[in-house]
Every structure is written in C-alpha cells, then in structure tokens.
Amino acid sequence: MFLWKLSMVVFALLLAPMLCADPQPAAAVGLPASAAQAAPAFDVKAATDAYLATVPLDKKARSDAYFEGGYWLQLWDFLIGVVIAIFMLQSRLSVRMRDWAARISSWWGIRILIYFVQFLLFTTVVQFPMAIYEGYIREHKYGLATQTFGPWMRDQLVGLGVGAVLGGVAVVGLYWIVGRLGKNWWIWGAAAGVVFQAIVILIAPVYIAPLFNTFHKLQDPKIKDPILSMARANGIPATDVYEVDASKQSTRVSAYVSGFLGSERIVLNDNLLNRCSPEEIQSVMGHEMGHYVLHHIYKDLLFDTVLFFIGFAFLNWGMHWGLARWGERWGAREITDVAALPLAVLLLSIFFFVLTPITNSWTRTQEYEADIFGLNAARQPDGEALVDLKLGDYRKLDPTPMEEILFYDHPSGRTRITAAMRWKAENMAVLPPGTNLGGPR
Ligand SMILES: [Zn+2]
C-alpha cells in the first residue's frame, strides 16, 4: 500500500515537468504550439549582456564618468548651499536684507517679497560659477549640450524669473501662515505646500514649459499613426501627444508626462523622434503611457504630501532649536522673522538631501512600473533595449545594485534591458512575424 502511494508520488513528480512542457496550455489560449518550446532557448542574461556589449568601451567609460561625476555634484551643490545659508546668518547679511526691505516699504507683504528677491539674487549670483560649470561647460564637454552661451543664459534668466514669481508667492504665503496660525503653522504650511505644488503641476505644461521650448501636436503620420493607435488602445485621448524641440538645448533622448486634472500630456522630444526607429519610439511611448494610465502624477502628489508633512514637522522643530541657540547672534530670534529664512532653506535642503535615496527609489519604482506597462503595451522589447542603450549617453548603464538604489531615479540600463529580454523570452510566440528572435542585431 505504502509502495503504491510512493510510486504514485514519484510518477506525479516525473510527470509534472512533462505536463508543464506540454504545448496544450498554450494552444488552449490560441498561441502557436511552439510557444512552450521556444522559451527556454532564449537566454535572458546572455541577451542582456550582448546588448550591453554593443556599447564601445570608450563610450561606456565616458558615460560612467559623466554619471558618477553627478554623484559628487549633488554633494557639492548641497554643501555650497549649506555654506551660503550659514554665511548669510552668521555675517548678518540676512538681517541687513530684512532691514533694507523694511526701509523701502512699510507694508508687510511687500517687505517679505523684497527680502526674498534679494535672497534669490544673492544665492543665484554666488552659485552662478557652479551653475555655469554644471549646466553649460560640463554638458558641452560630454557632448550633451547644443546651446551657445547666449541662449543658455537666456534660459537661466527666464528660470530665475519663474523662480522669483513662484518662490515669491510661496514665501509670502508661508510667512502669512506662520504669522497668523501660531504653533500649528507647520500643519497648515505643509497643506498649503501640497496645494501650491499641485497648482504648479497643473499650470506648468501650459504656462511654464512654453517659456523654454515650442510644443506642437505630433505631426509625422509614419510615427504618429502607430503611437496614436496605441494611445487609443490604452484609453488616452489622442490629442494629448505632443512633440517638443528639445534639440534646442540638448542631444538627450527623452520623453515625459506632465500636467493633471485635464492638463495632462505626453511629450516626446525631437531627439527621440530623430534618433530612434519607430520600434524604439513606440517602446518609449508605451512607457510614457504607463505613467499616464497608472496615474503616477497623482501618486507623486500623495507621496509628496507625506514628505511635506514630515519635512514641515522637521522644519518647525529645527527652526525653534536653531533660533533658540543662535538667534541672538544672527539677529533673528523669532520664527516669524523673515531674516531667519536661510535657516529654513538650510533645514529643508538637509531634509531632502538625506532623503535622496528614498525619493530616488520612489521615482525609480514608478519608472520600472512604466517600463513593464510599456513592454506590454508596445510589445517592442528590442526597441526598448536599443532606447535603453541611447539613454546610456547620460546614465551609467551597468551600476552595482547599491549604486542604483542610492543614486538612480530611473532603473539602470541593465535593469531595463533585463526586463525587456525577460518579457521577450516569455512572449516569443506572440511577437509579430518578422521579429528578431535572437539578441541584438
Ligand atoms: Zn518615465
């Protein structure tokens, strides 16, 4: 009796793999019988390695150097910001700015605004050499920039103007809340911060982005038709796909989704449209549609809400702690005193700097979701792999796992190509006729 049972178990174990390899399940869902046999022949890791190996070594070294240099730039930018804030407080420059603003206007709101404009101009001027190196010299050195200095400078000034308007509104609003709402100001401050950010996201595609670039609806029917078909298939209004003249500033291949509550749009940049095959463009479009359909902008706002409340609680604590310790020396003892603004900026920049790996991981996870959505929507795993290699112009392709967690706001080339090749291995039978069933060509 026991032996019989045992033999049944052994039989079942032996049979199980055979059942799995049986083409019947594939045939049952209308797939060709070859589906199950084809899958094991495709080695995901080998295909991924083969794609990565197509990048010439000197090009890879250059992209690695560019991206790794970015790690240090993040640290330097943070440290420069810290030094500037401490200098403004310790030298009492901040107090002098406040007093000067008070001499010009007796109205409270205007005084805050005048202080903020001085603050913005001073920090921008001090950080300007670094901005030139980072945004102009270095981008040219790595062949990523297309602008001459004049137009670049024009963009910087427009950016400064936008920062002055938006920052001015935010700072006046916050000091109003701090002055009126007392001890619990930080709760209302965080709530107002979230609403303010939502408004900026809402208006950015229509009022801010066009200050830098020209947008128009996608034109070329060869590219447009499959993309709009894919958009319709995924429930995206076809009017929401735009092309932007990003080649004005850069050689980077890119695309994004912006806006919300009706201002949403998918924007493909002209570098992508000019440098990529229709298969590659479709894979990018599938990815962007993922952001759209998965409501990543709304989820971002929710995540930011959590961050804002924690950040403002930290800000409230830090302001009281810092002003109690050094307020006398700085000439700014009250949290309501705008001369303490550099401390607030310092505290928030520490908060967001420390949280970088977490915010990066949040974004990277969404990007990975969009990748998976895109593979299913566009069904272009090789297009995806080829675009991932092009993104390797400015993003290190093959980092260590820890590097990816700490520094990457998008998955690395290796992670993305692996996902594409894994998708391909499992979908061999349903790929359209004529698809390359091997590795890179
Ligand atoms: Zn994305």
Among 70-84, 107-121, 254-268, 295-309, whose mean pLDDT is lowest?
A: 254-268
Grouping H, G, I as helix, E, B as strand and the rest as coil, residue 265 is strand
Question: What is the mean pLDDT of the segment spanning 230-247?
Answer: 83
- Nearest Cα to Cα of residue 382 among 54, 36, 41: 54
pLDDT over 70 percentage in the chain? 88
The CA 32 to ligand 1 mean position distance, Å, reads 33
Note the pLDDT tens digit of each residue in 258-316.
777 777 778 888 888 888 888 899 999 899 889 989 999 899 999 999 999 999 999 99
Q: How confident is the model at residue 40 (pLDDT cuts 50, 70, 90)?
A: low
Q: How far apart are CA 63 and CA 381, in angstroms?
A: 23
**What does the buried/exposed string (b/e) look like for 348-359 if buried means 16 or more CB atoms within 10 Å of the residue's CB?**
eebbeeeeeeee
- Mean pLDDT (the chain) is 85
- Nearest Cα to Cα of residue 322 among 297, 342, 302, 303: 342
Can you give the pTM of this predicted structure?
0.82
Q: How far apart are CA 188 and CA 190, in angstroms?
A: 5
The CA 291 to ligand 1 mean position distance, Å, reads 7
Q: How far apart are CA 11 and CA 31, in angstroms?
A: 29
Q: How far apart are CA 233 and CA 285, in angstroms?
A: 13
CA separation, residue 156 to residues 31, 85, 91, 281, 334 (Å):
55, 22, 28, 30, 34
The pLDDT of residue 94 is above 90:
yes
Question: What is the mean pLDDT of the segment spanning 217-234?
Answer: 84
The CA 234 to ligand 1 mean position distance, Å, reads 17
The CA 432 to ligand 1 mean position distance, Å, reads 25
Note the pLDDT tens digit of each residue in 351-368.
999 999 999 999 999 999
The CA 417 to ligand 1 mean position distance, Å, reads 15
Q: How far apart are CA 428 and CA 351, in angstroms?
A: 47
Note the pLDDT tens digit of each residue in 184-210.
999 999 999 999 999 998 888 889 989
Grouping H, G, I as helix, E, B as strand and the rest as coil, residue 420 is helix
The CA 146 to ligand 1 mean position distance, Å, reads 23
The CA 385 to ligand 1 mean position distance, Å, reads 15
Q: How confident is the model at residue 221 (pLDDT cuts 50, 70, 90)?
A: confident
